[in-house]
Amino acid sequence: MLNILKVFLFFNSIILFINLYLIIQKKKIFIIKNVDFFTIKFTKYSYKNISDILNYKFEYKVKNLNNLNLNYRFDNKKEANNKRKIIRLFFIDYLYVSPYHKRQIKNIINTLSKKFKIIICKKNPDYLFYNVFGCNHLKKKYNNAIKIALFSENQITDFNIADYSLGRSHINFLDRSFKMPYFFGMPKNYSNKELKLLSELILKKKQIRKKFCSAVISNYRLSDRFRLQFINELSKYKRVDMGGRYKNNVGKIKNKTQFFESYKFSIAMENTEGDGYISEKIIQSFLSGTIPIYYGDYIIDEFINPNSFILIRGKKDMNNKIKYIKEIDNNDELYKKILKEKVFIDTKYKEKIEKEKEEFLFHIFSQDIKKAKRIDNYHWKIW
């Protein structure tokens, strides 16, 4: 009995030592990265999330912005005798290799350039736009900058860190937040005229198909498990052809949209559910002429016609929607009726949002820089 107790205490001592070592290593990571440990601890940033980000080794440099062909002056010095107000800003924690992020940054700078003189300044910016792909925005050298969260992922802004936020979620935080949709998750920035043409193109492609349903899913480890559960349940009725890495049963596919074109239905489910979070998936399904089976943004029917696709609102809704899919599959008249439905409720929706976003940004940058600040830079120092 005594020997067992000794072994037990020995192993517990080892576990305690490992835990202490890991705690020390956590703090070292923050010190190495020039990130204040207490800022992380008391602003709800978990070590796991930040260490995962650091492992990607995203070290963005100023030169990454040179390839965007933007209309701004790339300088660290103020210009003399300039009538327009000078804005010294920088973009950090972005995937500069991402076409969508390039368009996002370009859109922000071109909008601000209508009223201000833009200077990209890494060392000492007055304003800092940041995304979720890193934690460099937490460095001490950016403490005095006005921080603007510009999110494209399913992420809620922490207003203990951000002065302002442009993101997907329907949050109302006085003049500090603005809901900026993904514009239907489109692969490019469609104009209002192009939206109408896109609607006409979708209608032309819609026709009765012989094959049942298709899906392309590769991210299955880090995504919502409900999507996989739904596909498994639907497969009990008829085979779902899988073209991604997850349960591939058709071989490698070259083009996702073309792959969908042979099917009545296509799975257009997001990696996660959340309000305002829409990716390109549902638009790809519409462009292929199928009826999308969608799960993700639960208020998507604000701007996409709910009669043109199948919207699933969580697990409780799954069985009813599978019954509805079976009904459509066995009723050609009902299927044709859904195909004839228009996709976009309001093709001028983007124009309205762009105008509101412009007013939101102008409000931030038109203020005196001291009055524009919304958080206390040094709230964490009391610890």
Q: What's residue 321's pLDDT?
A: 94
Is the domain of 252 the same as that of 138? no
Q: Which two tokens stand for residue 350?
A: 């983007």
Q: What's residue 100's pLDDT?
A: 75
Instruction: Work out how many domains the chain is built from and give that number.
Output: 3
- For residue 50, being part of any structural domain is answered with no
Residue 378 exposed, middle or buried by CB count within 10 Å (0-12, 13-18, 19+): exposed
Is the domain of 99 the same as that of 197? no
Is the domain of 158 the same as that of 218? no
Is the domain of 331 the same as that of 267? yes
Q: What's residue 129's pLDDT?
A: 95
351 to 26, 92, 357, 358: CA distances (angstroms): 46, 27, 10, 11
- pTM as predicted: 0.66
Is the domain of 114 the same as that of 234? no
- For residue 44, being part of any structural domain is answered with no
Residue 53 exposed, middle or buried by CB count within 10 Å (0-12, 13-18, 19+): middle
| Cα distance between residue 348 and residue 87, in whole Å | 31
- For residue 180, being part of any structural domain is answered with yes
Q: What's residue 196's pLDDT?
A: 59
Is the domain of 327 the same as that of 364? no
Domain span holding position 130 = 62-184+351-382
- For residue 48, being part of any structural domain is answered with no
- For residue 41, being part of any structural domain is answered with no
- For residue 376, being part of any structural domain is answered with yes
Query: What is the chain's pLDDT, residue by residue, as a tens digit (383 residues)?
Result: 667 777 767 777 777 777 666 656 544 444 333 333 333 333 333 333 433 333 333 333 444 555 555 544 444 444 444 578 999 999 998 876 677 788 888 889 999 999 999 999 888 899 999 998 888 899 888 988 999 998 877 777 888 889 999 887 777 788 899 987 765 555 555 555 555 566 666 666 666 678 899 999 887 666 678 888 899 999 999 999 998 888 888 888 888 888 888 899 999 988 877 777 788 888 888 888 889 999 988 778 878 899 999 999 888 889 999 999 999 999 988 998 898 888 888 777 778 888 899 999 999 999 998 889 988 644 444 43
Is the domain of 125 the same as that of 232? no
Is the domain of 274 the same as that of 364? no
- Please report where in the chains the tokens 């009995």 appear, as a residue: 1
- For residue 333, being part of any structural domain is answered with yes
- Please report where in the chains the tokens 């940004």 appear, as a residue: 361
| Cα distance between residue 54 and residue 57, in whole Å | 5
Handedness of CA 40, 43, 46, 51 (dihedral sign): negative
CATH code (residue 367): 3.40.50.11650
Handedness of CA 117, 119, 120, 125 (dihedral sign): negative
Is the domain of 203 the same as that of 336? yes
Q: What's residue 59's pLDDT?
A: 36
Is the domain of 275 the same as that of 210? yes
| Cα distance between residue 223 and residue 16, in whole Å | 33
